[in-house]
Amino acid sequence: METILSSHSLHPILNPKASISKNLLLPSQQPRPASLFLSKPITCTPKKPTSQSVKPSLAEPRNWFVHAQQGLAALAISLALNFSPVLYTGNAIASEFDVINEGPPKESYVVDDANVLSRVTKSDLKRLLSDLESRKNFHINFITVRKLTSKADAFEYADQVLERWYPTLEEGSNKGIVVLVTSQKEGAVTGGPAFVQAVGENILDATVTENLPVLATEEKYNEAVYSTAKRLVAAIDGLPDPGGPQVKDNKRESNFKSREETEEKRGQFSLVVGGLLVIAFVVPMAQYYAYVSKK
């Protein structure tokens, strides 16, 4: 009789590799008997081929959707930045600050930030003021702004401009600043010590109470600025004062009657009403009496 011995049935001494491996491995990691693996048919099936073929097709739409979302978000941010209102921050974007920061004009004598002066007026001012500076060494700058937000009135703003443009006494002594605020219909004139002395307090007061506010109220900004310039230049040259604009009396006549007129009209009305009442009663009675007497 022949006996077939397998490697698993041999004694450990005859198969030392098997005994060493069994001893080193844990019970849960020890290999199972070969009969268990041989009892099942061996089949080779691909591992979910459908999922591998589907993944690439699903990745492309997902990437496209993500890019579309990012593009829409960037577009929304761009529109918000372009069309959102500008927020007010401290030193606002107000034009009055721009005038101060830009400094005095270099080629002209006018800073028309309110954009109310014509080209002819600017040319006339340049000719008049440049002639004054060449003869008397006095420099006058005219400034127009729409509205003041940093200062209470035009005088404070004019002083601030003078201090910023000409910080030292030597620079600002013979300089003059004329400010016209169009929305508030007011103006101011200021300057260094030499300028104020040359013009005189009377002319300074007259220009800010007559020329600038009166003509600005009528929205004659060109005339307000140029008439002020001529008045200041005449004062510096020692010439007679050309005077300010004529103030129009806009007082309207009242449609209401005075007390005396009302009393007089009331008496006349009483007489008329009384006469009508007498006629209304006396005439019918007289007619009736005549009719009865005939019978």
200: region left, alpha or beta (phi > 0 left; psi from -120 to 50 alpha): left
pLDDT score at 264: 66
Q: Could you list the mean pLDDT of each consecutive 10-residue stretch along the chain, which spans 295 residues?
A: 42 42 43 42 46 45 61 65 44 67 91 95 96 96 91 88 94 96 94 96 94 94 97 96 75 51 67 75 75 72
Element (H, E) at 272: helix 259-294
Position 254 in a domain = no
Position 261 in a domain = no
Q: What is the dihedral of CA 161, 164, 169, 175, to 10 degrees?
A: -40
How many structural domains comprise the chain? Answer: 1
Angle (deg, nearest 10), helices 154-165 and 95-102: 30
Q: Which CATH number covers residue 224?
A: 3.10.310.50
Position 2 in a domain = no
- Token digits of residue 76: 């929304």
pLDDT score at 29: 46
Position 185 in a domain = yes
Q: What is the chain's mean pLDDT, rounded? A: 74
pLDDT score at 86: 40
Position 112 in a domain = yes
Position 263 in a domain = no
pLDDT score at 83: 52
Angle (deg, nearest 10), helices 119-136 and 221-237: 10
DSSP structure class, residue 145: E
Position 123 in a domain = yes
Q: Extract the runs of DSSP E, i.e. beta strands, from 185-262.
A: 186-191
Position 105 in a domain = yes
- The answer to whether 142 and 225 are in contact (CB under 8 A) is yes
Q: Give dist(CA 208, CA 227) in Å, integer.
A: 12
pLDDT score at 30: 46
- Token digits of residue 24: 């080193």
DSSP structure class, residue 177: E
Q: Give dist(CA 222, CA 225) in Å, integer.
A: 5
What amino acid is encoded at 247 in this protein? V
Range of the domain at 195: 94-237
pLDDT in tens, 258-267: 566 666 666 7
